[in-house]
Structure formats: C-alpha cells, structure tokens
Amino acid sequence: MLLLLLLLLLLLLLLLLLLLLLLLLLLLLLLLLLLLLLPLLLLLLLLLLLLLLLLLLVLLPPPPPPPPPPRLLLLLLLLLPLLLLLYHYYYYYYYYYHYYYYYYYYYYYYFYYYFYYYYYYYFYYYYYYY
C-alpha cells in the first residue's frame, strides 16, 4: 500500500514536471514569436507616430512668418568686399611699403656709419703708423 502511494506521488511529481516543462516551452515559443514580430510591431508604431505627426501638422495653425533681415546687416554684407579691399590696400601698399622703407633707411644709415667709422679708424691707423 505504501509502495503504491509512493508510486502515485512519483507519478504526480513527474506529471507536474512535465506540465512545467510544457509551460516553459510555451513561454519560449511566445518569446520567439514576439522576437519575430518585433520588427513588424516597431514598424506599426512608427507608422502610428507618423500619422499622429501628420494629424498635428494638419490641425495645428501655421507658424508666423520670420522677421525680415536687418537692413544694417545687409548693408554690411554689401560693403564687405569694399572693406576687404581697403584692408588689403592699407596692409600691402601702406604698412608693408613703409615698413621696408624704414628698414631701407635704417640699413642705409647703418652702413653709412659703419663705413664712416671704418674710414675713421683707417685714417687713425694711417696717421698713427706714418
């Protein structure tokens, strides 16, 4: 009798285990189905969002027009080439030229004094030795 009861209990446990395994298999199948249908569901969600956006675009009033650009800015944009030309003129024909002009005279005087001292010492030695 006890043996029969134990066998029955074991059978019940096996049945329970089989049921659990079946449930797990069903869950895995559902998960697989969800994974297969996920791109489709996402596409559907995207379509719904696009429809909502379209509906909002249709129902909402249009935005106000942008303000006109400032006239001063337009004037500056028109005068920009002229300003660049003036800058170019100042830099290359005034600053650049005078800079080298100054250096030219600087070296000119430098050599002048150099030769002046050179002759001075030359005559100095000349008078000294002779």
Domain ranges of the chain: 88-130
Residue pLDDT, tens place only, 78-125: 999 998 888 877 776 666 555 555 555 555 555 555 565 555 555 555
Cα 35 vs. chain centroid, distance in angstroms?
Answer: 36
CA 50 – CA 59 distance, rounded (Å): 14
CA 6 – CA 16 distance, rounded (Å): 15
Helix spans in the chain (H): 2-59, 71-89, 96-129
Q: How would residue 25 be classed by pLDDT, with cut points 50, 70 and 90? A: very high
Tokens 């290359």 -> residue? 92
- The segment with the largest mean pLDDT, out of 14-23, 32-41, 68-77, 79-88, is 14-23
- The segment with the largest mean pLDDT, out of 25-34, 60-69, 85-94, is 25-34
CA 8 – CA 2 distance, rounded (Å): 10
pLDDT at 116: 58
Whether the pLDDT of residue 61 is over 60: the answer is: yes
Tokens 């249709």 -> residue? 58
pLDDT at 101: 54
pLDDT at 94: 63
Look up residue 95 and give its DSSP letter.
Answer: I
pLDDT at 127: 58
Whether the pLDDT of residue 50 is over 90: the answer is: yes
